[in-house]
Chain A
Amino acid sequence: MIEIKDITLGYGRKILLENISAKFGKGELTALLGRNGSGKSTLIRTLAGLQKPYTVEGRTKGEILIGGRDIRSLSREEAARTVSFVGTERILVPDLKGRELVAMGRAPWTGWTGRPGAKDEEMTDRAIELVGMQDYAMTDIAEMSDGERQKIMIARALAQDTPVMLLDEPTAFLDVPGKHQTVSILRKAASEEGKCVIFSTHDVETAVRSADKVLLADGRRVILLRCGVDPVMDEIRRVFGI
């Protein structure tokens, strides 16, 4: 589904990840692990098309392929129908109801007026149901807890109906049950909806227990490990020095 070929990530003069390559398949849940500042968020944002890979003398080395197509060749609309994104920012818009926020996920599928059709309404309701937030559909998001708001943000990404879901630290700010519920939703999105889900996290235990693969940032390189097959914990201990 997603293939990274020999790309370098960084900003300014700082290189975070150099000449990295990896493949992420359909129906797979992949956790990105690494130290603070190792380039996890930069990788997520680059895959989401929010920033470009590191350029040398104005040229980008390597490529990112999504569904076999170079990410740079996708139009804005095609990209929005292929990749959905959940960031770390707390969304505290006053007077915005949970359902209204989830319905915003349908934006790439509605016309310029944004008027939702019957399918859009159905997809919105289904996404809310998938994250179990039916009781919060008419609650202001500013009045929700961090965990509730995070579920609504994931529902928004599910309503976007994209084959790829990218999430930057979706378990940050959450308590233990919140983390567990969030990762369970992502697991379900990958297994039952067949999506390629990639999320960054610091929660090693939850990641290893739930994910199919772990992409470990080790200095400027990455190691792709299959959970239950490769010695994931040994590698994590080595990289984190614990």
Chain B
Amino acid sequence: MRMKPGILWTCGIFLLAALFAADIMTGSAGIPPEEVWKALSGGGTEDQTRLIVTGIRLPKALTALLAGAAVSVSGLLMQTLFRNPLAGPYVLGISSGASLGAALCVLGVSSSMAIRDSLLGSFGIAGAAWAGAAAVLLIIAAASRKIGDITVILILGMMFGAGIDAFVQILQYLSDEQSLKAYIVWTMGSLGNVSGTRLCILAAAAVCGTAVTAVSSKSLDLMLLGESYAVTSGVDIRKTRMLVFLATVLLAGTVTAFCGPLGFVGLAVPHIARLLARTAGHKVLVPATALCGGILMLGCDMIAKSTAIPINAVTSLCGVPVVVWVVMKNRKSWKQR
């Protein structure tokens, strides 16, 4: 039996709020809800508790929420643009492109921690990741226009990713010990290294990218039917594709730059949203995907904290079963194409 949309949305928002609160309360030392409230509202509590809550856990929980939502919406955009259920920033090599940009920054230009964490350094890493993501996305999009076969596009994306990873390995080999250590930690993914400035950039990118996506909902719906139908329905294909590129680069690029590659979130979450919302319409899917992405990342962060496993490993472990399910579910339709 299907749940009513209103009940589903209420449950989703409640779950998100509960996980957000739980993420702040849990960690190496548990903090009771009343202490968290005092720390957040400026009430009387220990300085150490206030520091942990406002300086560490709150930014981390906000990062999890924003990163989960952003990378999931970017996955939805890729799946619509390429009309491919297995598309996502990670699979298509867009995260790898962003990683290359970030790697060049982390390993090369700004080896000093102070420079890296400065406003300029934060924008530098984000900008480099955006450029890397945009370059790969443009190549994949150009190839997809020539080729059209979704399987070939996916293989190309994976090959780009592998090629870029190999290049990054060469960079690692050539870099000094301090930079190498910083980079290795970054590749494991971390939601804890997002400072005030970075959090602001991440929030701005997530809000702008999601807003652009939401505004393009009508065109995105029509693009599900293919370019011919979209064009004959009055869609400005070039403009829509440009907006999708911009939003994807902002969303996936920023998250990868600051949190590292978060495997399979972008691919898996849109499918979870579709399963729950039972619609292909982007007016519902965009907020549903953002909500599910936030919930999943907060959950993954809590698992990562309690088990001391890198967040990238947790997201991959959560995402892989969904990918297997998608492949099994789509076997029939792929045969028919």
Q: Which residues of A contact B (CB under 8 A)?
A: 45, 48-50, 76-77, 79-81, 83-85, 87, 89-96, 100-101, 104-105, 107-108, 110, 112-114, 142, 160
Contacts and interface: CB of A to CB of B under 8 A. Distances in A.
Contacts of B48: none
Nearest to B282: A114
B233 A92 contact: no
Q: Quick one: which of B85, B228, B278 has the most chain A CB within 10 A?
A: B228
A114 B217 contact: yes
A95 B278 contact: yes
Pairs of residues from A and B, 7 with the lowest C-beta to C-beta distance, nearest first: A80-B234, A114-B218, A96-B280, A85-B232, A107-B233, A92-B333, A108-B234
A105 B221 CA distance: 11
A76 B228 contact: no
A188 to B, nearest CB: 21
13 contacts: A49-B231, A76-B234, A85-B232, A91-B229, A93-B280, A94-B329, A96-B224, A96-B279, A104-B221, A112-B215, A114-B217, A114-B221, A160-B233
Interface in B275-303: 277-281, 283
Q: Quick one: which of B221, B234, B274, B278 has the most chain A CB within 10 A?
A: B234
Contacts of B218: 107, 110, 112-114
Contact of B226 (A76, A89, A113): A89
B280 A95 contact: yes
Contacts of B215: 112
Interface string B192-232: 00000000000000000000000101100110111011011
Contacts of B234: 76-77, 79-81, 107-108
B336 interface: yes
Nearest to B330: A94
Contacts of A107: 218, 222, 233-235
A84 B233 CA distance: 8
A50 B231 contact: yes
B232 A50 contact: yes
Interface in B320-337: 329-330, 333, 336-337
A93 B228 contact: no
B19 to A, nearest CB: 26
Interface residues of B, number: 29
Contacts of A96: 224, 279-280
A205 to B, nearest CB: 27
Given A87-B226, A93-B225, A100-B280, 7 more contacts: A79-B232, A84-B232, A94-B274, A94-B333, A113-B217, A114-B218, A114-B221
Q: Quick one: which of B215, B233, B337 has the most chain A CB within 10 A?
A: B233
Contacts of A89: 226, 228
B236 interface: yes
Nearest to A45: B228
Nearest to A160: B233
Contacts of B283: 114
B333 to A, nearest CB: 4
A137 B177 CA distance: 63
A100 B337 contact: no
B263 to A, nearest CB: 23
A54 B177 CA distance: 61
Given A91-B225, A114-B221, A100 B232 contact: no
Nearest to B228: A87
Contacts of B233: 80, 104-105, 107-108, 160
Q: Quick one: which of B226, B229, B236 has the most chain A CB within 10 A?
A: B229
A83 B232 contact: yes
B232 A80 contact: yes
A143 B117 CA distance: 52
Interface string B227-251: 0110111111000000000000000
Given A113-B218, A114-B283, A90 B336 contact: yes
A50 to B, nearest CB: 6
